[in-house]
Amino acid sequence: MEETRKEPAAPVEVADHPLVAHHLAVLRNMRTPPEGFRAALRRLAALLAVEATRDLPLRRRRIRTPLAPAEAQRIAPRVGLVPILRAGLGMVEPVLDLLPEAEVWHLGFYRDERTLRPVEYYCKLPPARPADVALVLDPMLATGGSAVAALAAVEAWGVPRVKLLALIAAPHGLRAVRTRFPSVAIHVAAVDPRLDRNAYIRPGLGDAGDRLFNAPA
């Protein structure tokens, strides 16, 4: 009987860089004002995106500099950015600065406070022509419910390569994503130890959407 080989699970990459640690401290600090929070979030999103795109294939092309012809390379695949509303919106601009030709498609979920399960309220993915690579963006990976729902939508769209970028994750959320989508690479700035009874990451940074948009509950 032929043995079935299992593909190795994609890695969970925790960014290990002094700039990540520095901006993460700003992001976590309850005294950081909304404009400082937004700036730190943008910088962290850009740093994660650099790591997440490290293995994107390149296409050679010949260009001309002001002095002479030159061989150059450009990103080959069509990249789609898929922020999870609403906090994922804060990660779009810095990643789009790095990948200005990327497409942006939105998914919206809110958490049912009784069941703690995600409820979809918005889905904007085109019916055809899926991107070659999708970067799903959400600052917090807590229970993993929204991330799993978003990844399922992207998978149904037909994207062959998907990566998840989150600033702070909890072990519970990582397990949920890895169990359901073992081939999805996960890039995070930090992994915190636990969730509290309300499914918030501890120590975390509070509600990322509220702090991002200066809209406390």
Task: Write out pLDDT tens, residues 92-150.
Answer: 999 999 999 999 999 998 777 777 678 888 888 888 889 999 999 999 999 999 999 99
Question: Do 52 and 137 touch, CB atoms closer than 8 A?
Answer: no
Q: Is the pLDDT of residue 211 over 50?
A: yes
Specify the pLDDT at position 8.
65
Output b/e per residue, 93-116; b: 16+ Cβ within 10 A: ebbbeebeebebbbbbbebeeeee
> What CATH code would you report for 12-55+77-212?
3.40.50.2020
Ranges of each domain in the chain: 12-55+77-212
Q: Can you tell me the distance from the alpha carbon of 83 to that of 145, in angstroms, rounded to the nearest whole number?
A: 15
Task: Write out pLDDT tens, residues 197-206.
Answer: 888 999 999 9
Specify the pLDDT at position 93.
96
Sort strands 201-202 and 194-195 into parallel, antiparallel or unpaired: antiparallel
Q: How far is C-alpha 33 from the chain's CA centre?
A: 23
The answer to whether the peptide bond before residue 86 is cis (omega within 30 degrees of 0) is: yes
Query: In the numeric block, which tokens belong to residue 55?
Result: 């293995």
Residues in the chain: 217
Specify the pLDDT at position 45.
97
Task: Write out pLDDT tens, residues 131-143.
Answer: 999 999 999 999 9
